[in-house]
Amino acid sequence: MTQPAESHIQTFREGAKAAWPICLGYFPIGLALGVLAQQAGLSWWAVALMSLLVFAGSAQFICVAMLAAGASISAIIFTTFVVNLRHTLMSSALAVYLAGVSRKFLAGFAYGITDESFAVNLTRFRQGDWDRWQALTVNQLANAVWILATITGSLIGQFVPQGAFGIDYALTGMFICLLVFQLQGRIYLVTALLAGTLSVGWYLLIPGDSYIVGASICAATLGYFLQRRYRSSK
Protein backbone atom coordinates (compact mmCIF):
# COMPACT_ATOMS: atom_id res chain seq x y z
CA MET A 1 0.00 0.00 0.00
CA THR A 2 1.53 3.30 -1.09
CA GLN A 3 1.75 6.29 1.19
CA PRO A 4 -0.30 9.43 0.38
CA ALA A 5 1.44 12.47 -1.10
CA GLU A 6 1.12 14.33 2.21
CA SER A 7 3.14 11.62 3.93
CA HIS A 8 5.92 11.90 1.36
CA ILE A 9 6.00 15.68 1.74
CA GLN A 10 6.16 15.36 5.53
CA THR A 11 8.99 12.84 5.24
CA PHE A 12 10.92 15.21 2.99
CA ARG A 13 10.33 18.13 5.35
CA GLU A 14 11.60 16.19 8.35
CA GLY A 15 14.67 15.07 6.41
CA ALA A 16 15.33 18.59 5.14
CA LYS A 17 14.96 20.00 8.64
CA ALA A 18 17.67 17.64 9.86
CA ALA A 19 19.85 18.21 6.78
CA TRP A 20 19.96 22.00 6.65
CA PRO A 21 22.76 22.45 9.23
CA ILE A 22 24.88 20.01 7.21
CA CYS A 23 24.08 21.84 4.00
CA LEU A 24 24.89 25.17 5.65
CA GLY A 25 28.31 23.82 6.62
CA TYR A 26 28.95 22.06 3.33
CA PHE A 27 28.53 25.13 1.17
CA PRO A 28 31.57 27.14 2.38
CA ILE A 29 33.70 23.99 2.61
CA GLY A 30 32.63 22.95 -0.88
CA LEU A 31 33.48 26.41 -2.14
CA ALA A 32 36.92 26.08 -0.55
CA LEU A 33 37.49 22.72 -2.21
CA GLY A 34 36.40 24.07 -5.57
CA VAL A 35 38.78 27.02 -5.28
CA LEU A 36 41.71 24.79 -4.28
CA ALA A 37 40.92 22.33 -7.08
CA GLN A 38 40.82 25.12 -9.66
CA GLN A 39 44.14 26.46 -8.41
CA ALA A 40 45.57 22.92 -8.64
CA GLY A 41 44.67 22.86 -12.34
CA LEU A 42 41.36 20.98 -12.37
CA SER A 43 38.58 22.23 -14.64
CA TRP A 44 35.06 22.75 -13.32
CA TRP A 45 33.72 19.62 -15.00
CA ALA A 46 36.49 17.52 -13.43
CA VAL A 47 35.55 18.94 -10.02
CA ALA A 48 31.88 18.14 -10.74
CA LEU A 49 32.73 14.54 -11.65
CA MET A 50 34.88 14.17 -8.53
CA SER A 51 32.08 15.38 -6.28
CA LEU A 52 29.50 13.25 -8.08
CA LEU A 53 31.52 10.02 -8.13
CA VAL A 54 33.47 10.34 -4.86
CA PHE A 55 31.41 12.59 -2.56
CA ALA A 56 33.91 12.48 0.29
CA GLY A 57 35.24 15.82 1.44
CA SER A 58 38.39 14.58 3.15
CA ALA A 59 39.29 12.30 0.23
CA GLN A 60 38.71 15.12 -2.26
CA PHE A 61 40.85 17.57 -0.31
CA ILE A 62 43.60 14.95 -0.08
CA CYS A 63 43.33 14.21 -3.79
CA VAL A 64 43.61 17.88 -4.72
CA ALA A 65 46.60 18.39 -2.40
CA MET A 66 48.37 15.34 -3.80
CA LEU A 67 47.67 16.38 -7.39
CA ALA A 68 49.14 19.81 -6.64
CA ALA A 69 52.19 18.10 -5.14
CA GLY A 70 52.65 15.93 -8.25
CA ALA A 71 51.83 12.59 -6.60
CA SER A 72 51.22 9.51 -8.74
CA ILE A 73 47.70 8.26 -9.49
CA SER A 74 48.35 5.00 -7.64
CA ALA A 75 49.48 6.88 -4.52
CA ILE A 76 46.36 9.06 -4.62
CA ILE A 77 44.04 6.06 -5.03
CA PHE A 78 45.66 4.13 -2.18
CA THR A 79 45.73 7.11 0.19
CA THR A 80 42.09 8.04 -0.36
CA PHE A 81 41.11 4.37 -0.03
CA VAL A 82 42.78 4.13 3.36
CA VAL A 83 41.29 7.43 4.55
CA ASN A 84 37.79 6.35 3.53
CA LEU A 85 37.97 2.98 5.26
CA ARG A 86 36.21 4.68 8.16
CA HIS A 87 33.04 4.47 6.05
CA THR A 88 33.04 0.73 6.77
CA LEU A 89 32.60 1.49 10.47
CA MET A 90 29.91 4.10 9.85
CA SER A 91 27.97 1.84 7.48
CA SER A 92 28.14 -1.02 9.98
CA ALA A 93 26.63 1.19 12.69
CA LEU A 94 23.77 2.32 10.43
CA ALA A 95 23.10 -1.17 9.05
CA VAL A 96 21.42 -2.08 12.35
CA TYR A 97 18.57 0.28 11.46
CA LEU A 98 18.27 -0.81 7.82
CA ALA A 99 17.66 -4.53 8.24
CA GLY A 100 15.56 -6.08 5.47
CA VAL A 101 15.93 -3.11 3.12
CA SER A 102 16.43 -3.83 -0.59
CA ARG A 103 19.91 -3.75 -2.08
CA LYS A 104 18.82 -1.02 -4.50
CA PHE A 105 17.91 1.28 -1.63
CA LEU A 106 21.08 0.40 0.29
CA ALA A 107 23.24 1.28 -2.72
CA GLY A 108 21.70 4.74 -2.96
CA PHE A 109 21.83 5.24 0.78
CA ALA A 110 25.45 4.08 1.13
CA TYR A 111 26.54 6.49 -1.60
CA GLY A 112 25.39 9.45 0.48
CA ILE A 113 26.99 8.51 3.82
CA THR A 114 29.44 11.10 5.12
CA ASP A 115 30.75 11.90 8.58
CA GLU A 116 28.09 14.56 9.07
CA SER A 117 25.09 12.70 7.66
CA PHE A 118 26.17 9.62 9.64
CA ALA A 119 26.24 11.60 12.88
CA VAL A 120 22.82 13.14 12.24
CA ASN A 121 21.12 9.93 11.11
CA LEU A 122 22.60 7.76 13.84
CA THR A 123 21.46 10.22 16.49
CA ARG A 124 17.95 10.37 15.02
CA PHE A 125 17.69 6.59 14.67
CA ARG A 126 18.69 6.17 18.31
CA GLN A 127 16.12 8.73 19.42
CA GLY A 128 13.41 6.89 17.49
CA ASP A 129 10.69 8.21 15.14
CA TRP A 130 13.14 8.24 12.23
CA ASP A 131 12.85 6.13 9.10
CA ARG A 132 15.06 5.24 6.14
CA TRP A 133 13.42 7.73 3.78
CA GLN A 134 14.09 10.64 6.10
CA ALA A 135 17.67 9.42 6.44
CA LEU A 136 17.98 9.16 2.66
CA THR A 137 16.70 12.73 2.32
CA VAL A 138 19.47 13.92 4.66
CA ASN A 139 22.10 12.12 2.57
CA GLN A 140 20.93 13.28 -0.83
CA LEU A 141 20.23 16.92 0.07
CA ALA A 142 23.73 17.17 1.52
CA ASN A 143 25.06 15.55 -1.65
CA ALA A 144 23.28 18.05 -3.91
CA VAL A 145 24.55 21.05 -1.94
CA TRP A 146 28.10 19.67 -1.93
CA ILE A 147 28.15 19.20 -5.71
CA LEU A 148 26.72 22.68 -6.28
CA ALA A 149 29.21 24.27 -3.86
CA THR A 150 32.29 22.59 -5.34
CA ILE A 151 31.31 23.53 -8.89
CA THR A 152 30.68 27.12 -7.81
CA GLY A 153 34.04 27.24 -6.04
CA SER A 154 35.86 25.95 -9.11
CA LEU A 155 34.22 28.62 -11.27
CA ILE A 156 35.16 31.50 -8.95
CA GLY A 157 38.55 30.06 -7.99
CA GLN A 158 40.40 32.05 -10.61
CA PHE A 159 39.40 35.26 -8.82
CA VAL A 160 40.63 34.14 -5.37
CA PRO A 161 44.34 34.57 -4.46
CA GLN A 162 46.08 31.41 -3.22
CA GLY A 163 45.99 31.04 0.57
CA ALA A 164 43.35 33.76 0.98
CA PHE A 165 40.68 33.56 3.72
CA GLY A 166 42.28 30.47 5.29
CA ILE A 167 40.67 28.27 2.65
CA ASP A 168 43.17 25.44 3.14
CA TYR A 169 42.06 25.16 6.81
CA ALA A 170 38.36 24.69 6.00
CA LEU A 171 38.19 20.90 6.27
CA THR A 172 40.23 20.81 9.48
CA GLY A 173 37.91 23.36 11.06
CA MET A 174 34.86 21.33 10.04
CA PHE A 175 36.17 18.16 11.68
CA ILE A 176 37.03 20.03 14.88
CA CYS A 177 33.44 21.32 15.09
CA LEU A 178 32.10 17.84 14.37
CA LEU A 179 34.24 16.39 17.16
CA VAL A 180 33.19 19.01 19.70
CA PHE A 181 29.49 18.34 19.09
CA GLN A 182 30.06 14.61 19.69
CA LEU A 183 31.66 15.11 23.13
CA GLN A 184 28.50 14.50 25.16
CA GLY A 185 29.98 12.65 28.10
CA ARG A 186 33.12 11.43 29.86
CA ILE A 187 33.44 8.27 27.74
CA TYR A 188 33.30 10.31 24.52
CA LEU A 189 35.96 12.69 25.80
CA VAL A 190 38.26 9.84 26.83
CA THR A 191 37.76 8.13 23.45
CA ALA A 192 38.58 11.36 21.61
CA LEU A 193 41.76 11.85 23.65
CA LEU A 194 42.75 8.23 23.01
CA ALA A 195 42.19 8.65 19.28
CA GLY A 196 44.28 11.83 19.19
CA THR A 197 47.12 10.33 21.22
CA LEU A 198 47.16 7.10 19.24
CA SER A 199 47.07 8.87 15.88
CA VAL A 200 50.01 11.11 16.75
CA GLY A 201 52.06 8.20 18.12
CA TRP A 202 51.15 5.99 15.15
CA TYR A 203 52.08 8.76 12.71
CA LEU A 204 55.49 9.24 14.34
CA LEU A 205 56.34 5.56 14.67
CA ILE A 206 54.75 3.86 11.65
CA PRO A 207 55.35 5.07 8.06
CA GLY A 208 52.41 5.69 5.74
CA ASP A 209 48.86 6.92 6.22
CA SER A 210 47.43 4.01 8.21
CA TYR A 211 47.45 6.08 11.41
CA ILE A 212 44.02 7.58 10.68
CA VAL A 213 42.15 4.31 10.33
CA GLY A 214 44.31 2.44 12.86
CA ALA A 215 43.89 5.03 15.60
CA SER A 216 40.14 5.29 14.94
CA ILE A 217 39.60 1.54 15.21
CA CYS A 218 41.76 1.19 18.33
CA ALA A 219 40.19 4.18 20.10
CA ALA A 220 36.65 3.08 19.21
CA THR A 221 37.37 -0.43 20.50
CA LEU A 222 38.85 0.86 23.76
CA GLY A 223 35.96 3.29 24.16
CA TYR A 224 33.47 0.44 23.68
CA PHE A 225 35.08 -1.66 26.41
CA LEU A 226 35.30 1.34 28.73
CA GLN A 227 31.61 2.02 28.21
CA ARG A 228 30.72 -1.63 28.90
CA ARG A 229 32.76 -1.59 32.08
CA TYR A 230 31.16 1.68 33.18
CA ARG A 231 27.64 0.31 32.61
CA SER A 232 28.38 -2.96 34.41
CA SER A 233 29.71 -1.07 37.43
CA LYS A 234 26.44 0.79 37.92
Both 149 and 227 in a single domain?
no
CA–CA gap between residue 82 and residue 163 (Å, rounded): 27
Both 128 and 201 in a single domain?
no
In a domain, 165, yes or no: no
To the nearest 10°, report the CA torsion of 218, 76, 55, 92.
Answer: -30
**Residue 162 confidence (pLDDT):** 65
**Residue 190 confidence (pLDDT):** 85
Q: What tens digit of pLDDT does each residue of 14-68 get?
A: 889 989 988 988 888 888 888 888 888 889 999 999 999 888 887 888 888 788 7
Domain end call among 160, 192, 219? 160
Both 43 and 150 in a single domain?
yes
Among 200, 122, 208, which residue's Cα sits nearest to residue 192? 200
**Per-block mean pLDDT, blocks of 10 residues, the chain (234 long):** 66 89 88 86 91 86 81 81 80 87 89 88 88 91 94 84 62 65 74 87 81 78 79 69
Both 37 and 152 in a single domain?
yes
Domains identified in the chain, total number: 2
User: Which phi and psi angles does 209 have, rounded to 5°?
Assistant: -110, 15
In a domain, 166, yes or no: no
Residue span of the structural domain in which 99 resides = 5-160
In a domain, 177, yes or no: no
In a domain, 173, yes or no: no
In a domain, 178, yes or no: no
